[in-house]
Structure 1
Amino acid sequence: MPVKNIDTVRALESARYAAMIEGDVEQLDAMLYDDLLYVHSNGKRETKEQFLGALSAGRRRYHDIEIQTQELREFGDTVLVTGKLRIELESATGPLSSLMTYIAVHVLQKNQWQLISWQATRMASE
């Protein structure tokens, strides 16, 4: 896999997490595919509009996202990211601090990498 694509998507992942913590909906809007499917660790599915709406309305606030492991694999104009991370956030149901495993799928559209799909699973306590 070309190192440039790995580095680009890895940087995009870090920038996306930073934007989530900052609540930067405008930056996230550019990083997310219009037909995004975002599946949270509790099984809740959201569209791009729903995900951004929860952030902009303050119904979800990310306090910290720490990447523990991350592997990237490229398949043409698609990069699959798998890994483990620790997330601290507040939502309408209260605070959450959890270790999660995840899959993120990025696609190259018009020379821009965007997240098209995300799915996280909460891991058992270590």
Structure 2
Amino acid sequence: MPWPLPAVFIEFEQYEVHQLSAWRREADIPVRLHIVTRAQTYTAGANDKRIDAALQYFDLIDRVNAAMQALSGEGFGAFQLTASATNHNHGELMENIERWLTHAIDATADRPRQAVTLSTMEIIDRV
């Protein structure tokens, strides 16, 4: 099914989870963004008016990068760019893959802590 362009598809890579205390867990979560646009063809000549449209592709990547760098929230830190692969040409489509990494802490299973105490009387009654 076709989709409107430009488009950004999100791919979550596999990640390892590490158990923490108090029913919490953490992970470094890698995410790939597939930025897809229509391919722009132009000649190398300076008079080709299509070069501006072709270079807008990089402006889009810059806008996506600015949005990702500002993204953080409850339970996960700011995203960091770790890799970029530009100009994967798929016929009439062009794809850029940006790989980002964030550190997340999952506290959804967190429970209130309860103090456990035994009174002196209970210990004597058991002996």
Normalising by structure 2, report the TM-score: 0.26
Greater helix percent: which structure?
A: 1
Greater strand percent: which structure?
A: 1
Normalising by structure 1, report the TM-score: 0.26
Q: Highest CA radius of gyration, 1 or 2? A: 2
